[in-house]
């Protein structure tokens, strides 16, 4: 299986809660489509 890298840049005006919600949406998008998140920061 091939490895792919995804970088997402969020606007700096998001609150901590909004940031975590947006991050969770991308994590869900990847995992629901058969992907695996190896590292996140």
Q: What are the E-state strand segments in the chain? A: none
Q: What is the mean pLDDT of each run of 10 residues along the chain (41 residues)?
A: 88 96 95 92 82
Q: Which pLDDT value is given to residue 1?
A: 75
Q: Which pLDDT value is given to residue 24?
A: 95
**Residue 39 φ/ψ, nearest 5 degrees:** -150, 140
pTM for the structure as a whole: 0.73
Q: Which pLDDT value is given to residue 2?
A: 85
How many residues are there in the chain? 41
Q: What is residue 30's DSSP assignment? A: H
Q: Which pLDDT value is given to residue 36?
A: 93
The CA distance from 35 to 28, in Å, is: 9
């Amino acid at each position: 299986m091939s490895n792919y890298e995804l970088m997402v840049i969020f606007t700096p005006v998001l609150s901590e809660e909004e940031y975590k919600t947006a991050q969770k949406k991308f994590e869900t998008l990847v995992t629901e489509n058969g992907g695996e998140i190896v590292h996140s920061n």
